[in-house]
Amino acid sequence: RKEVEQDPGPFNVPEGATVAFNCTYSNSASQSFFWYRQDCRKEPKLLMSVYSSGNEDGRFTAQLNRASQYISLLIRDSKLSDSATYLCVVNIPQAGTALIFGKGTTLSVSS
């Protein structure tokens, strides 16, 4: 089983749509969770951290289910500028600040 698994997509949605991405992780001892965003041929950048109680940042909502080892990202009212690859990221429990990245889910928003 891969350590962080994501549906690669692509997800093709119209502007204004709501889209959800899911991710599962294998190490139950992981404590830190993130979504990073990577634009085409660019470096990854932190989109948001994911906390146990769930958290929201504008149009973006992240949820964590520790029991199922499942993380989700919901994007409401999609914009053209949301087109990117979204990487699910968890920490390596025995390695402090080191992270494991999923392969990413590609989102394409069209007008």
Partner 1 sequence: DAGVIQSPRHEVTEMGQEVTLRCKPISGHDYLFWYRQTMMRGLELLIYFNNNVPIDDSGMPEDRFSAKMPNASFSTLKIQPSEPRDSAVYFCASSFGFSSYNEQFFGPGTRLTVL
Q: Whose Cβ is closer to partner 1: residue 13's or residue 99's?
A: 99
- The count of other CB atoms within 10 Å of the CB of residue 104 is 22
Q: CA torsion 85→44→61→67, rounded to 10°?
A: 90
The reply on whether position 104 binds partner 1 by CB under 8 A is yes
Q: What's the CA gap between 39 and 17, in Å, rounded?
A: 20
- 103 part of the interface to partner 1, by CB under 8 A: yes
Describe the chain by its helix, strand, coil percentages, rounded to 5: 5, 55, 40
Q: Which residues, numbered 25-44, are part of the site for partner 1 (CB under 8 A)?
A: 31-32, 42-44
Q: Smallest gap, in angstroms, from Cβ of residue 44 to partner 1?
A: 5
User: Is residue 53 within the footprint of partner 1 (CB under 8 A)?
Assistant: no
Contact residues toward partner 1 (CB under 8 A) are 31-32, 42-46, 49, 87, 91-92, 95-104
